[in-house]
Amino acid sequence: MWQIIANQIAEATGTQFSILEKIPLSGGDINQAYRITDGRQSYFVKLNDRDKLDMFRCEWNSLEHLHASQTLLIPKPICCGTTASISFLVLEYLEFGAADEQDWHMLGRQLAHLHQSRSQPMYGWDEDNYLGTSVQPNAWHKKWSVFFAEQRIGWQLKLLEEKAIRFGDLEEIVGAIKLRLANHHPQASLLHGDLWRGNVAFYQHQGVLFDPASYFGDRETDIAMTELFGQFPQYFYQGYQAVWPLDGGYPLRREIYKLYHLLNHVNRFGDAYQAQAKASIYQIIAS
């Protein structure tokens, strides 16, 4: 297995590479992760079952789009493939370190520049991809309210119904989301798509984003995700607002955007998030 990965790295980089050391890394709950090195150059390697190659391929695509924006630091994808029993994704290795107030402020500014860097006339992505291990549908649509209500909230509710988990009438909930977003027509910005604290780090005081689930949509969805599982430091939001201030309607939409990730967590982890998701749905419908 490791020889195949080393050969793929050598082919992708045009430089001979032989693995001298493999160091297991912690931090993820989906993939195995390693730092591999030949004593000079190091790479970050993700491993999973062979049938998870499409998940890695979609991550590669998101990383390339984010990297091409040249707005912030994104680990460069090196190669992706399979062996007889596993799939793998190799990225450049960055040694993460501490961050200060200025670093977080700059990351906020850089995220705003990412959101401004590219836009589309419609919302979506050229292919479906993954939010964690959940399929994320991305069929292009002209109306943001329809896209988010159907392909984000509605999709997650359908997945939950297949597991006999219901939060009420699916059509009623989707209809309420459409109504709440009906007059909101945001720029279709390039998004990270899964921007929580575990997918952010710092390398030599530069903010690094990884594990994306990218698509073109409302920039507010990225900001809302940063506020779901423990807010980022306030310096981050100050930096973002300095470049591209959020409008006054964001607090009302924030709960809708958080709901998508709550429902995905119910799909992935079960009971631990059901009460929070139920309360969020009730708040949105009742508002």
Query: How many Cβ atoms sit within 10 Å of the Cβ of residue 153?
Result: 23
What does each C-alpha distance from 188 to 62, 68, 142, 217 come to in angstroms?
A: 16, 17, 10, 4
Asked about 194 being catalytic, the answer comes back as: yes
End-to-end Cα, the chain, rounded Å: 54
Three-state SS for 239? helix
Q: Which of 103, 194, 211, 222 is catalytic?
A: 194
- DSSP lists the bridge partners of residue 73 as 208
Report how far residue 268's alpha carbon sits from residue 156's, in angstroms, rounded to the nearest whole number.
11
Helical segments of the chain, H only: 2-13, 53-68, 101-117, 144-148, 155-161, 170-181, 220-226, 234-243, 250-269, 274-286
Tokens of 6: 């080393």
Q: Are 150 and 176 in contact (CB under 8 A)?
A: no
Q: Are 185 and 146 in contact (CB under 8 A)?
A: no
Say if residue 77 is exposed, middle or buried (CB neighbours under 10 Å; 0-12, 13-18, 19+).
Answer: buried
Tokens of 89: 């994704």
Report how far residue 153's alpha carbon sits from residue 284's, in angstroms, rounded to the nearest whole number.
12
Tokens of 205: 């005081």
Say if residue 241 is exposed, middle or buried (CB neighbours under 10 Å; 0-12, 13-18, 19+).
Answer: middle
Please list the active-site residues: 194
